[in-house]
Amino acid sequence: DIVLTQAPLSVSVTPGESASISCRSSKSLLSSKGITSLYWYLQRPGKSPQLLIYQMSNLASGVPDRFSSSGSETDFTLKISKVETEDVGVYYCGHRLEYPLTFGSGTKLEIK
């Protein structure tokens, strides 16, 4: 199975500042079709996960452009610019390259 390792475990951010979350894959997530199969999710407290980013760098529908993602075949970064209080929750990375799909262990974002 592909192992996704996230860091840090938690991050505390002042509103208006930026935050970065890392996700490292045990295997290249670049598919034979040239698509990088890396996804980012946010799970707000008490809610279901919601998709933020698909295929490494594409913003999901309705997600503000304060969120962005970049990376290589194995190392990825989610950046949140101008953090707002509504960004509080746990961020997960996940892949859909092969079976089984797996997820990172999550990074908790808190507001200072």
Partner 1 sequence: EVQLVESGGSLVQPGGSLKLSCVASGFTFSNYWMDWVRQTPGKSLEWIGEINTDGSKTNYAPSIKDRFTISRDNAKSTLYLQMSNVKSDDTAIYYCTRLGARDYWGQGVMVTVSS
Region binding partner 1 by CB under 8 A among candidate stretches 10-18, 72-80, 81-89, 92-100 = 92-100
x/- site string to partner 1, residues 41 to 80, per CB under 8 A?
A: x------xxxx--xx--x-xx-------------------
CA separation for the pair 12, 20 (Å, rounded): 11
Chain positions contacting partner 1, by CB under 8 A: 1, 41, 48-51, 54-55, 58, 60-61, 92, 94, 96, 99-106
